[in-house]
Amino acid sequence: MPKLKQNKNGQTNSINQVRYGCALGALHSVVAIPGAMPITHCGPGCVDKQYMSLAFYNGFQGGGYAGGAVTPSSNLQEKDVVFGGAKHLDQLIAASLKIMEADLFVVLNGCIPEIVGDDIGAVVARYQAQGVPIVSAETGGFKGNNFTGHEIVTEAIIEQYVDKYARNKDQKQKGLINVWSELPFQNTFWRGDLTELKRILEGAGWQVNILFGYGSKGVQEWLTIPRAEFNLVVGPWLGLRTAKLLEKKYGQPYLHLPVLPIGAKQAAEFLRAIAAFAKENEVQTEKFIKEEEKEYYYYMEYFTDFYAEYWWGLPASYAVVGDAAYNLALNKFLVNQLGLIPALQIITDCTPEKYREAIGEQYKHLAEDVSAEVEFAEDGYIVGKLLREGQYGHKPPIIFGTTWERDIAKELKGHIVEVSYPVSYDVVLNKTYIGYRGALTLLETIFTTAISKSA
């Protein structure tokens, strides 16, 4: 047997304990846009698998208006494989338009049509020609994960819908920004996080197209994308592709801030960077930071008593296992706000190779005096091995990870805070761990977990 390529951690092709969905899983990016609905052209179990893993046993977020068992699906059968499924899709689209209420439909395919060669673009084009707000996205499951799928979907909506229906594309609206950040549903806390992100950006004087979740005006908001002054990419890499597309398409510059801000220090740095980039809203930004810090440090002052003199031991070192965005964000906060010691950082979202070096650089400068290494691994067995081999000092670590790390946390007699997909032991509604407010919630979670151990 020819030896397959393995990386330095011994990772083979095997993935035990999945940490992302497939490209089709990005149907959840459609579900996240108010007023939009996915139509899926795939096998009978594909939608259920992506839903149950990304949206149910991951914070029990739920399917909402267009997800879960609502999503139309062609549930492909043997005859579709043999004879092709394009006609089947055509019938499903027509029936969906008759039965389902939505402002925008996004047709996504799975592995089967991708292999047998159904031309979903051609089927969808016939409806587009008749004025139906519908787009097609080729998200065959073997093309990549749901991060890849997310940008395929985003691009499809921009190219096939926004570009066609948006008005006054050339008139930029001063102060309006498009925000590309967390991956909806994959990131368990995306709803609360995007709300907080929008709140602090608005507080600093911006008008915000947040594009996904409750704070978005949905499909109507997407139509204003071309009018934004610039695009803001928040996170180590996701969204850069979309920002580059928009730069080319509508001449919009973009600002890339790799650190999703948690806590007052990071949030202030974040807001000042945006104001400096645009040379706008500088005064309002400073005013907002001042107000927010007043509130933030009011609570922090009271928290100080606990953090300074709790008798029964608090964790000192930590490990983070998760998507690049949360991984880096948590590291920044834990080091700079709490002074915890980074022991092990593992990014699990299959970050494209070209971004990895730059991300590694970020970890080298977590603080002026704190530097860390970051590993990239996706297979749970490798993650477990790395955690087992980790050096945590004389006390067990606190692990920021997924449900998969519960066993190893027990083994190490450590603590676990579930922050990354899958989060199967946390019920999440609007909880946020970012910004000013989210940071306080994060502190509550971390230390409730830590001190509950003796209970």
Comparing CA positions, the residue from 102, 167, 168 lying closest to residue 132 is 102
CB of residue 411 vs other proteins: minimum separation in angstroms? 10
> Please, which residue, 110 or 261, has the CB nearer to other proteins?
110
Q: Does 20 bind other proteins (CB under 8 A)?
A: yes
CB of residue 149 vs other proteins: minimum separation in angstroms? 10
Residue written as token pair 């690049």: 324
Q: Does 65 bind other proteins (CB under 8 A)?
A: yes
CB of residue 96 vs other proteins: minimum separation in angstroms? 7
Residue written as token pair 């606990």: 306
Instruction: For residue 44, give Cα distances in angstroms to 3, 71, 80, 240.
Output: 35, 12, 12, 33
| CA dihedral sign of residues 69, 71, 74, 76 | negative
Q: Does 137 bind other proteins (CB under 8 A)?
A: no
> Please, which residue, 122 or 276, has the CB nearer to other proteins?
122
Q: Which of residues 406-435 bind other proteins (CB under 8 A)?
A: 406-407, 421-422, 424
Tokens at residue 333, please?
């906060």
Residue 50 contacts residue 25 (beta carbons within 8 Å): yes
Q: Does 134 bind other proteins (CB under 8 A)?
A: no
Q: Which of 33, 41, 53, 236 binds other proteins (CB under 8 A)?
A: 53
Count of residues engaged in binding other proteins, rule: CB under 8 A: 86
CB of residue 160 vs other proteins: minimum separation in angstroms? 17
| CA dihedral sign of residues 243, 244, 246, 252 | positive
Q: Which of 8, 131, 248, 353 binds other proteins (CB under 8 A)?
A: 131
Residue 233 contacts residue 239 (beta carbons within 8 Å): yes
CB of residue 334 vs other proteins: minimum separation in angstroms? 26
The 3 state secondary structure assigned to 292-320 is: HHHHHHHHHHHHHHHHHHCCCCCCCEEEE
Q: Which of 21, 34, 184, 239 binds other proteins (CB under 8 A)?
A: 21
CB of residue 290 vs other proteins: minimum separation in angstroms? 38
23/26 Cα distance (integer angstroms): 6
CB of residue 378 vs other proteins: minimum separation in angstroms? 8
Q: Which of residues 141-200 bind other proteins (CB under 8 A)?
A: 141-143, 145
Query: What x/- string results for residues 79 through 118 when contact with other proteins is judged by CB under 8 A?
Result: -xx---------xxxxxxxxxxxx-------xxx-xxx--
Q: Does 37 bind other proteins (CB under 8 A)?
A: yes
Q: What is Dmax (Cα atoms) for the chain?
A: 71
> Please, which residue, 44 or 251, has the CB nearer to other proteins?
44
Q: Does 25 bind other proteins (CB under 8 A)?
A: yes
Comparing CA positions, the residue from 247, 250, 372 lying closest to residue 317 is 372
> Please, which residue, 51 or 318, has the CB nearer to other proteins?
51
Comparing CA positions, the residue from 289, 400, 273, 268 lying closest to residue 334 is 400
CB of residue 166 vs other proteins: minimum separation in angstroms? 16
263/295 Cα distance (integer angstroms): 12
280/206 Cα distance (integer angstroms): 9
Q: Does 271 bind other proteins (CB under 8 A)?
A: no
CB of residue 42 vs other proteins: minimum separation in angstroms? 8
> Please, which residue, 186 or 195, has the CB nearer to other proteins?
186
Comparing CA positions, the residue from 242, 185, 194, 188 lying closest to residue 215 is 194
